[in-house]
Structure 1
Amino acid sequence: MITREEISGIVLAGGKSSRMGTDKGLLELNHKPFVSYILEAMIPLVSEILIVSNQSEYDAFGYDRVPDIIADSGPLAGIYSGLMNSKTEYNLILSCDIPLIRTEVLQQLLHHVDEDHDIIQIESRGKTMPLIALYKSSCIQTFRDLLDRNEYRLRYALEQCKVKNVKIKGKDDLTTTNINTDQEFKKLMHDYKG
């Protein structure tokens, strides 16, 4: 298995959150911002952390903040910005809207690293999750070529790479819940037991 020295953690916090109407990473669950939960899950597994965001509020978390190289261009551009600033071959990339994520779930990605795959992503409840995934820095050129052609679809970008899915189930499925709407946020606040 790869060691934490070979892995950077990259949190994508640059989204406009059009469905939520506010910055999702700064939403609070039990008086703690979503992004804090993501950082806590990531810290034991990585040697450095980058937060991809144009918002200076993220400077308060004490990690290097990387602005989007190509503004307002979605998660593919955010991943590209993170990879361009990473110092390691492997990069654990997480969106800022999964506050229930746990280190043990992320560890499963690391157990599946091999020479043949560029990206290893979680599959939960029948859905693949490219924003809970491990990306090799070798993806940079492919992503750059797509962005240069104004191709911003992340799922399409993954089709250009060698991808492995890691299926999780049971209670682990809950940890991958992403919060996109006010309704989902209210349900989370109601259900969360700490």
Structure 2
Amino acid sequence: MNEQLQSITGVILAGGQSRRMGRNKATLTVQQQSLLEIMLNKLRSVFQHVVLSGSQAAAYHTGLPVIDDFFPGCGPLAGIHAALKLCAGRGVFVIGCDMPLVPPELIRYICNCSNFDLVVPRVGDYLEPLCAFYHRSCLPFIEQALNQGRYKITSFFPRVRARYLTAEEISRFAPPDRAFFNINTPADWDRFCALYPDLKA
């Protein structure tokens, strides 16, 4: 493991309400593994330190440290804030528990670009802020946004040195639509099971 990765903590956001899914998507199972277990295995293959973020995360009994939000009920930005505030090192790589096809090699690539305040994939007009690196230098800008009631993750991006990965870069590791396949609804889950029954990332 290189020095860049040793100084970064892998953070899985696992405290969401899964309202659109109608059930806890972290526990959805493919080939006898839950989505959360799949994400844990990916991050453990990349990072020395992995934590869970979110008030619900302790219920999964993974044995990993669990980080609670300082701004409860304020969405994923609050989870990123808490992780930066509490984790040692240069910064954190943050990912949701519902993106099971992200290749570990892409995660490593994102983190090896971490001489920026922020490294986030961009595909067309869409950013993937829940598969991104956040340097500790982002913390004051995130805290200010939360204090001002601005909960959209991207609201502070113009204020930091951001590196946006291109679709061409991402495609070295996987087609972008596969890498960032996100499971939010029952329809997403049905489509995922139909398209990727083998779950080969």
Q: How does 1:106-125 map to 2 (within 5 A)?
A: 106-114=107-115, 117-124=116-123
Partner of 2:194: 190
1:145 matched to 2:132? no
State the Cα distance separating 1:41 from its structure 2 match: 1.6
Q: Secondary structure at the match of 1:3?
A: helix
Q: Write the letter of the residue equivalent to 1:151.
A: R
Does the aligned pair in 1 maintain the 2:93–2:111 contact within 8 Å? no
**TM-score, normalised with respect to structure 1:** 0.90
Structure 2: unaligned runs, 5 residues or longer = none
Does the aligned pair in 2 maintain the 1:37–1:101 contact within 8 Å? no
Aligned counterparts of 2:127 and 2:152: Cα–Cα separation in 1: 15
Partner of 1:38: 39
Partner of 1:13: 14
Does the aligned pair in 1 maintain the 2:92–2:134 contact within 8 Å? yes
Q: Percent identity?
A: 23
Aligned counterparts of 1:147 and 1:126: Cα–Cα separation in 2: 24
Partner of 2:86: 85
**TM-score, normalised with respect to structure 2:** 0.87
Does the aligned pair in 2 maintain the 1:112–1:166 contact within 8 Å? no
State the Cα distance separating 1:2 from its structure 2 match: 4.2
Aligned counterparts of 1:126 and 1:44: Cα–Cα separation in 2: 30
Aligned counterparts of 1:14 and 1:159: Cα–Cα separation in 2: 27
Q: How does 1:20-169 map to 2 (within 5 A)?
A: 20-55=21-56, 56-58=58-60, 60-114=61-115, 117-124=116-123, 127-167=126-166, 168-169=170-171
Q: Secondary structure at the match of 1:45?
A: coil
Structure 1: unaligned runs, 5 residues or longer = none
What is the aligned length?
A: 191
Q: Which runs of 4+ in 1 moved over 3 A?
A: none
